[in-house]
Chain A
Amino acid sequence: MENQMKELREEKKISQGKLADLCRVSRQTINAIENNKYDPSLQLAFDIAKNLGVTVDTLFLQGGKEYEE
């Protein structure tokens, strides 16, 4: 699943290691998600979104557009 994690993380000036610590996972997990090698669980997706100060749909929807009905 494509995501905007790298852009949002760099925008917030948070390193992969720091984000990994905040989400209590390894840096490899954050890297795998950023490179679309791994889709995180809902829990981890919410943790990452919370720590980046965005919503899950912003993080994971294509183009970072908020979901609109």
Chain B
Amino acid sequence: MKSRMVVSILLLIGCFAILGNIIYKLIAGDGIVLSDVIFLSMLLLFFFFTITWGSSKKKDGILPSEELGKQIQHKSASVSYYMIVSLLFVGLIIDRIVTGTPNTTIMILFGLSLVIQPFITYVIAQTFQIHPNSLGKIANWFIECNSRISKKTKNRMLFIIGFLTALFIISPLFETSSYYDLLTFLFGEPGDSFNPFPLLFSAVVIGLLITGLYYYEKRSREGDSREH
């Protein structure tokens, strides 16, 4: 059996396991937490990525980095946008029926989702003008920086940002645990004697962030874009 198929099946089993856990929690009356949803979404993301794209070594499918792959991604992003707008609208209606009052946050997000597409179109159109305005110049600068950075670097940056977001935003906001709890879990309750390890760990986390930003900036300056 191909390794791609094995990975796909394992991911699918993982998805069903988490989905089962979420359904069980809902039936048992326990509220589901954001980490359940994110974990399920991540597994589904990996599953669809695995079944969609091929490998350049095994030559078993379309590559995301080649031009047909990029066109597929552009098309799917365009379709996804309309689906997300529709889902927000459906969410707005469901929330109004369930709670009796319209949800202000979803209303604002729905309004923004309608405006974002024409606004971005305006900005992108500006980048093609003979004399672009300030927005067009900023967009041009951003596109230039982005084209210099390789996919590998972008993925690394995304990983670091994801890790820090999970640690400092998602965890304290949506869960009972926080960064402080993580330190307690790793190094024990703070006692009378001075324990340097939590500080060292924090220094490593901050160092990681600074190194990542430095790496990003360096790559952006030097340019390491490699198509193949």
Contacts and interface: CB of A to CB of B under 8 A. Distances in A.
A24 interface: yes
A20 B59 CA distance: 10
What band does the interface of chain A fall in when counting residues whose beta carbon is under 8 Å from B? 10 to 19
A50 B68 CA distance: 19
Nearest to B67: A41
Task: Output the residue of B59, B68, B228 with the most chain A CB within 10 A.
Answer: B68
Contacts of A41: 67
Interface in A22-44: 24-29, 32, 38, 40-41, 44
Interface string B33-77: 000000000000000000000100001011100111101000000
The range of chain B's interface size is 10 to 19
A26 B67 contact: no
B215 to A, nearest CB: 27
A40 B68 CA distance: 8
Majority secondary structure of chain B interface residues (helix, strand, loop or mixed): loop
A17 B228 contact: no
B67 A40 contact: yes
A29 B66 contact: yes
A40 B59 CA distance: 19
Contacts of B63: 25-26
A49 B81 CA distance: 36
A28 B62 contact: yes
Contact of B59 (A26, A32, A38): A26
13 contacts: A24-B66, A24-B228, A25-B63, A25-B66, A25-B67, A26-B62, A26-B63, A26-B69, A27-B59, A29-B62, A29-B66, A38-B71, A44-B67
Chain A to chain B: the 3 pairs with minimum beta-carbon distance, closest first: A29-B68, A28-B62, A25-B66
